[in-house]
A and B are shown apart, each in its own frame.
Chain A
Amino acid sequence: MAFSRRRFIQATGAAAGASALGFPAIVRAQGSGGPIRLGLMTVKTGPLASGGIDMERALVHYLKERNNTLVGRKVDLFVGDSGGVPAQARTKIQELVERDKIQLMIGPLATAEALAADDYIRQQHLLTLSVAAADDMTQRKPNPWFTRGTSTASQCAHPMADYCYKTLGYRRMVLIADDIAYGHEMCAGFQRVFEELGGKVVQKTFPPLTVPDYGTYLAQLNQKADAIYLGFAGSNGFRYLRQFNEYGLNGKIKVVGGMTALDEAVLRNMGDEALGILTACWYSAEIDNPINKKFAADFRKEWKYDPGFYAAATYTEAAVLEATLKRINGRIEDKEGFMKAVRGIKVDTCRGPVSFDKYGNVVGNVYIRKVARKEGRLVNEVVHTYPNVSQFWTYDPDQYLKNPPYSRDYPPAKNLES
């Protein structure tokens, strides 16, 4: 029943006045000086709620730090909750556009939600800063209004494979992920890089998203592999790892993970069993840069836990938004101008320096992180940084795009055993 809080996050009284007083020149220059209407498409109910709630918290946090004012213009935030259901995400985006008249959307969260809204975004020319990882939205079927400051599903899997082969010396690996597009794309990216380097993916398993129990999958695990790569999202990675330990597999086979498998949101409820696991992600609450140090500390102070993937996602997208607005003097009404500008910016964010390729996808650092204990809680300590990683890894974009998109069956797994 949070009428005002949810629908419309008001600027505090003093800030509302300051926006007009502080930057009179800009306000006059942009002609239509009304507030910027910003939409956040997230998930606040159902199984994906954990990440979605963090998305809202971090975005509100970002705006609060700036008195709800970006480049001299007040920002009105409108939040939509899809419950994680694609059709509903579409309806909610329509609501944000048609009823709340938002000028830019941050989100949505899940791959299928972004795909469901793809044609609507094109039709409405809706400026979108996406959190969702649907690869092809910035690859073979690039959506001109769609920009992604987080990463594609495979963007962090490529360097992880590189690290596994070159630094950790793994040669035989098992891949397991949720049976959804996100999991398929992540494993496919990992497999391509790993096998091209000379490694072998000896087992590849995709349990259904709503699998009741992993016992039967654990019994099938190929124990002669060097390590297992977990491509899970949400609570599944957490459950898998717990059961992995239960079956006494801890120590028998090394564990590494994708960008959400050991997210801070999962770590805060885990114990020592997570220690030492390596994952690759474009963010960690432990990244040592001034923006992130302040963000992570403030966020922790307010909510009593570390920001993770989803919190950093909206915090990064908000920084991208602000930098772009600066470039175009706050004139968000000029949609073409905005899209052109966003592909040309270079901005320091909590995840490190960020720029974009011509397809609208981010080029940024990817961090190899190791779970460690610090001040009593588990954190993702950064052990290695791959600077300025593109969605195409080291491949030539044109060559890359000639291949079929990553999927459950591409690239084909030739080295499977058992």
Chain B
Amino acid sequence: MQYWTIQTLNSLALGGLLFLLAAGFSIIFGLMRIANLTHGSMYMLGAYAGASVLTGGLRVRVPGSDLALFLVASGFLLLFGVMRLARLRQRTMVYALGAYALVAVAACALMLRTPGSAFEGAITLPDFARNMWIAVAAGALLVGVFGVALERLILRELTGNALGQVLVTLGISFIVADFCLMVWGGDPIPVPTPPSLQAPLRVGSVAFPTYRLVVLVIAVVTAVALYLLMDRTRVGAMIRAGVDDPQMARAVGIPVSKLFTAVFCLGAALAGAGGIIGGPIMSAYPGLDADMLPLALIVVMLGGVGSLLGAFVGSFLTGAIYTFGTALLPDLAYVILFLPMIFVIAFRPRGLFGRQTV
């Protein structure tokens, strides 16, 4: 009895965690039809950022050449994206990028005169900042801004080019993964559990981690908030109109372009916040992104794309399948999450609650 109580709580807590992970993915896919394969990276970025905020700062030691590669290449992308957004003439852009390349090469040559030089730096945060809510806000903000840049500067130009979107989002996830390795190193980094929630909750003979229950509550609150946003507000109505028929929405004067950016930002911010909230359970480690992305995909495919309810039900269903599946059929641990999904999609390609086929 006690065993099944704990396993049930486990499955609910995992479901909550998965909802925080997958909600953003679902919203983005529902409106924009973009399979955002950087979603796992955004989650990981959030987890690392949160770990740094909660441990009071960050100390980095990066080889100069590695840093130069990152700065020059991402600077180039940023510059190009902004110029393209500003609709500059092609010739102007070529000159500007050429000038940028020259300056960058010169700067690198100067900086890397001594081989093996390294950049060292440290950020220390004041004590009051070491707070879960501040960490969540900081992570959501950081990843949200990252999402806006990604959407505006790169993905916007790829509307309708699904394969291009796959390539660019996976490419960015490579960059983010290596960036995290460069900045935070290869060691797993714990995201501290808020002190007041560290002790397990005991009811009778059952002990269960308090923090996991908090995650469950946060997930439910987030779900309700998102539901209200979608269902009761003007913005939500616009989004729903956009999901159902983008062309018609545009025709009736809904600013679909701005809406896209806002939704992408929201989805990214949710992923970043999810990374921190899930941090005390998952920690931040290299490979977290690759572990989480398939989970997000499973949840969304199972529940049905473009449906908040689907994501919600899909999360808890996945949590339950995983928890009870590995307990009852340990030999199927590797495939336990994929088998049910295969059945669902094979017989109902739109997922359980999907509004339309993908």
Chain A residues within CB distance 8 Å of chain B: 1-5, 45-53, 179, 205, 207-208, 210-213, 215-217, 219-220, 234-235, 238-239, 242-243, 246-249, 265-266, 268-271
Q: Are B281 and A243 in contact (CB under 8 A)?
A: yes
B7 contact from A53, A211, A216, Cβ within 8 A: A216
Determine the chain A residues whose CB is within 8 A of the CB of B11 once the complex forms.
216
Pick the most buried of A211, A213, A243, A249: most chain B CB atoms within 10 A of its CB: A213
A215 contact from B13, B116, B193, B287, Cβ within 8 A: B13
Known contacts A220-B327, A269-B187; A5 and B291 CB within 8 A of each other? no
A-B pairs with beta carbons under 8 Å apart, 18 shown: A2-B66, A46-B286, A46-B287, A47-B287, A52-B186, A53-B186, A212-B291, A239-B283, A239-B285, A246-B211, A246-B281, A247-B207, A248-B207, A248-B208, A249-B207, A269-B187, A269-B190, A271-B190
A216 contact from B10, B207, B209, B281, Cβ within 8 A: B10
Q: What's the nearest-Cβ distance from chain B to residue A55, in Å?
A: 11
Q: Are A216 and B190 in contact (CB under 8 A)?
A: no
> How far does the alpha carbon of A4 sit from the alpha carbon of B282 in the complex, in Å?
38
Per-residue CB contact flags for chain B residues 87-120 toward chain A (1 = under 8 Å, else 0) read: 0000000000000000000000000000110000
**The 10 nearest A-B residue pairs measured at CB:** A50-B186, A235-B188, A248-B200, A49-B186, A47-B287, A248-B207, A246-B209, A1-B65, A235-B285, A215-B10
Residue of A nearest to B4 (CB): A219
B3 contact from A5, A219, A270, Cβ within 8 A: A219
The answer to whether B185 has its CB under 8 Å from any CB of chain A is yes
The answer to whether B323 has its CB under 8 Å from any CB of chain A is yes
Q: Are B211 and A216 in contact (CB under 8 A)?
A: no
Q: Are A219 and B178 in contact (CB under 8 A)?
A: no
Q: Are B14 and A1 in contact (CB under 8 A)?
A: no
Q: What's the nearest-Cβ distance from chain A to residue B201, in Å?
A: 9
The answer to whether B347 has its CB under 8 Å from any CB of chain A is no
Determine the chain A residues whose CB is within 8 A of the CB of B202 once the complex forms.
248
Q: Are B14 and A213 in contact (CB under 8 A)?
A: yes
Q: Are B14 and A215 in contact (CB under 8 A)?
A: yes
* Interface band, chain B: 35 or more
Q: Are A238 and B193 in contact (CB under 8 A)?
A: no
The answer to whether B181 has its CB under 8 Å from any CB of chain A is yes
Determine the chain A residues whose CB is within 8 A of the CB of B281 once the complex forms.
213, 243, 246
The A-contacting residues of B in range 162-181, CB under 8 angstroms, are 178, 181
Determine the chain B residues whose CB is within 8 A of the CB of A238 once the complex forms.
188, 190, 283
Q: Are B322 and A49 in contact (CB under 8 A)?
A: no
Determine the chain B residues whose CB is within 8 A of the CB of A48 once the complex forms.
186
Q: Are B208 and A216 in contact (CB under 8 A)?
A: no
Q: Are A219 and B10 in contact (CB under 8 A)?
A: yes
Q: What's the nearest-Cβ distance from chain A to residue B252, in Å?
A: 43
The answer to whether B248 has its CB under 8 Å from any CB of chain A is no
A212 contact from B178, B187, B208, B295, Cβ within 8 A: B295
Known contacts A215-B212, A216-B323, A242-B283; A2 and B187 CB within 8 A of each other? no
Q: What's the nearest-Cβ distance from chain B to residue A303, in Å?
A: 9
Known contacts A2-B116, A46-B287, A50-B185; A242 and B190 CB within 8 A of each other? yes
The answer to whether B256 has its CB under 8 Å from any CB of chain A is no
The answer to whether B134 has its CB under 8 Å from any CB of chain A is no
Chain B residues within CB distance 8 Å of chain A: 3, 6-7, 10-11, 13-14, 17, 63, 65-66, 68-69, 115-116, 178, 181, 185-190, 193, 199-200, 202, 207-209, 211-212, 280-283, 285-287, 290-292, 295, 322-324, 326-327, 330, 333-334
Determine the chain B residues whose CB is within 8 A of the CB of A242 once the complex forms.
190, 280, 283
Q: Are A246 and B212 in contact (CB under 8 A)?
A: yes
> How far does the alpha carbon of A235 sit from the alpha carbon of B130 in the complex, in Å?
24
Determine the chain A residues whose CB is within 8 A of the CB of B190 once the complex forms.
238, 242, 269-271
Q: What's the nearest-Cβ distance from chain B to residue A171, in Å?
A: 24
Determine the chain A residues whose CB is within 8 A of the CB of B188 once the complex forms.
50, 234-235, 238-239, 266, 269
A247 contact from B65, B185, B200, B291, Cβ within 8 A: B200
Q: Are B178 and A45 in contact (CB under 8 A)?
A: yes
> How far does the alpha carbon of A205 sit from the alpha carbon of B280 in the complex, in Å?
24
Residue of B nearest to A43 (CB): B186
Known contacts A248-B202, A270-B190; A1 and B323 CB within 8 A of each other? no
Determine the chain B residues whose CB is within 8 A of the CB of A208 once the complex forms.
333-334
> How far does the alpha carbon of A53 sit from the alpha carbon of B61 in the complex, in Å?
13
Known contacts A1-B66, A247-B200, A248-B200; A219 and B286 CB within 8 A of each other? no
Q: What's the nearest-Cβ distance from chain B to residue A98, in Å?
A: 26
> How far does the alpha carbon of A389 sit from the alpha carbon of B332 in the complex, in Å?
38
Q: Are B6 and A219 in contact (CB under 8 A)?
A: yes
Q: Are B212 and A47 in contact (CB under 8 A)?
A: no
Q: Are A4 and B115 in contact (CB under 8 A)?
A: yes
Q: What's the nearest-Cβ distance from chain A to residue B318, in Å?
A: 10
Determine the chain A residues whose CB is within 8 A of the CB of B323 once the complex forms.
215-216
Determine the chain A residues whose CB is within 8 A of the CB of B290 once the complex forms.
210
Q: Are A2 and B115 in contact (CB under 8 A)?
A: yes
Known contacts A211-B333, A213-B281, A217-B326; A247 and B66 CB within 8 A of each other? no
Determine the chain B residues whose CB is within 8 A of the CB of A215 once the complex forms.
10, 13-14, 212, 323
Determine the chain B residues whose CB is within 8 A of the CB of A246 once the complex forms.
193, 200, 209, 211-212, 281
Residue of B nearest to A53 (CB): B186
Q: Are A212 and B322 in contact (CB under 8 A)?
A: yes
Determine the chain B residues whose CB is within 8 A of the CB of A219 once the complex forms.
3, 6-7, 10, 327
> How far does the alpha carbon of A4 sit from the alpha carbon of B114 in the complex, in Å?
11
Residue of B nearest to A84 (CB): B287
Q: Are B187 and A268 in contact (CB under 8 A)?
A: yes
Residue of A nearest to B325 (CB): A216
Besides A217-B326, A248-B207, 20 other A-B contacts (C-beta < 8 A): A1-B68, A2-B66, A2-B116, A3-B65, A4-B116, A50-B185, A50-B286, A208-B333, A210-B290, A212-B291, A212-B322, A213-B281, A216-B323, A235-B187, A235-B188, A235-B283, A242-B283, A243-B281, A247-B209, A249-B207
